[in-house]
Each structure stands twice: as structure tokens, then as C-alpha cells.
Amino acid sequence: MTHRPIVPGVDFHHSDSIALMKLWSREGVRTKLLLSDPPYGARWVAAGQKAIANDENPYRAAQDFLPPMASLLDDNAWLLLFCRIDLAPIWEGEMRWLGLTVLPYYQWDKRSAFHIEMNIRREVLLVACRGTPARYINDGATVLAYDRVTRPEIVSATPTAKPVSMLRYLIEKYSEPGDLIIDPCAGIAPIGEAALGCGRQYLGVELEEPRALVATERLRAEARLVAARALHRAAIPLAA
């Protein structure tokens, strides 16, 4: 396990997320929003990429990941997970078995977001909660459609990286400034970048070392941008 602290309130780990989530749960770590893109048992491999660990079987993936994820939820908290649309019933069934309330999912039109051909046009974002979270605005949105990722360093590292603009929308909708966002399957940390940009704390984990290295540098770069923006805002009254 490698722990890479970024700035106060932002931590990243290169580690086995299932074992680490169990440890955090025993230590009393809790969140109002767990947002992640886990290996959901699709056996999918992007061109030029190696197979994702723990992605062999949807039933096994749901049973392995969801209990420790649920154990990190606060009394009134959200669990948002990306999933392939045909595997959603398996994951939703496990969520219900764990006592979570499952709400209608979003559909994400992902063909417009990627630079590679996708066999399945839409992915879903599963939505579940424990208790009655206060932060939720029903704006009637059911389909998420965002422009494709264009940054070369992101596209080359992960061709299917989620658009940060979409993740910011979700974080602002389902959490408050200062809340801790936990992302146990972080990849190259698009959720982490979005969380920092929205003024949230962030705790991320990635098993694969190459992605963890990219994620660490990405989070450090975003932390520098956030700090620079804060300094700029603080200087504006002095210049007026």
C-alpha cells in the first residue's frame, strides 16, 4: 500500500480498495457521498489496456464491493455508482439486500464522451441512499450528456475517463461544500479533480500503479489550481 497525501483534506492511496474500506470502516471513517466507478463484472478491456482487476463476474463484484462501501456511509448519505446498464439489476439487488433505498438511476449517453467506439451506448449511474439525506435537488434530470474529454494526458491514460463537468454536477447536487467524498475505485481520479474544484474533501483509492501515479499528479495539479484561485479571490478586494 502506498499513501500519497495531496493537501490537507485530500488523500490518495495506491492499494486494494476492499481491504482499505474495511479498515476505514473499523476506524470510524464515514461519508455523506460515496461516488465511484467500480469494476462491475463486465470483463471489459479497452484497446491497448490490460484487463481490470476484480471485473470477472458481476455477482462477485457486487458482493465484494458493496458491503464495505455501504459500511462507510453516514446515517443519511448517498451512494452513486456507475454501472453497465444490463448489469444494473444485479447491483441494485445487492444494494437492497444491504438495506439501502434504491432510487431511479441516471442514464449517461457516453458515446459523445469518448474517442473510441462503444458497443453499449449508455451507461447508468446507480443512485442509492441510507436514511434521508438532506442534500438532494430533484431537477428532473434522467439523462446525463456531456462533451467528450479532450485533454491528451487523460485520454492516453484512460480512454473512458468520465467528464469532470459531469462529476462536478453530481458532487454539487448530492453533497455540501466541505463534505468528504470517498472514491474507492478512483482510476485516474476524475472524481477527485471534480471534488477539489467543488470545495470538497476527497479520499481516493486505485489498485493499478500506473493509474495511481497519473491520479496523484492530477490531484496535485488541481490542488495548485484551487490554491491559486483562492489567492486571486483574496487579492481582488485589495486591488479595488
User: Looking at residue 240, what is its pLDDT?
Assistant: 47
The closest of 186, 238, 225 to 20, measured between CA atoms, is 186
pTM (two decimals):
0.87
Domain map of the chain by residue range? 2-239
Per-residue pLDDT of the chain (240 residues; tens, 9 = 90+): 788 888 899 999 999 999 999 999 999 999 999 999 999 876 554 445 555 556 678 899 999 999 999 999 999 999 999 998 899 999 999 999 999 999 989 988 776 554 444 455 678 999 999 999 976 665 566 877 766 665 655 555 555 678 899 999 999 999 999 999 999 999 999 999 999 999 999 999 999 999 999 999 999 999 999 999 888 777 766 544
DSSP string, the chain: -EEEEEETTEEEEES-HHHHHHHHHHHT--EEEEEE----S-----TT-PPPTT-S-HHHHHHHHHHHHHHTEEEEEEEEEEEEGGGHHHHHHHHHHTTPEEEEEEEEE-TTT-SS--SSSEEEEEEEEES--S--------EE--PPP--HHHHHH-TTPPPHHHHHHHHHHH--TT-EEEESS-TT-HHHHHHHHTT-EEEEEESSHHHHHHHHHHHHHHHHHHHHHHHHHHHHHHH-
**2-239 in CATH: which number?**
3.40.50.150
- Residue count of the chain, please give it: 240
User: Looking at residue 161, what is its pLDDT?
Assistant: 74
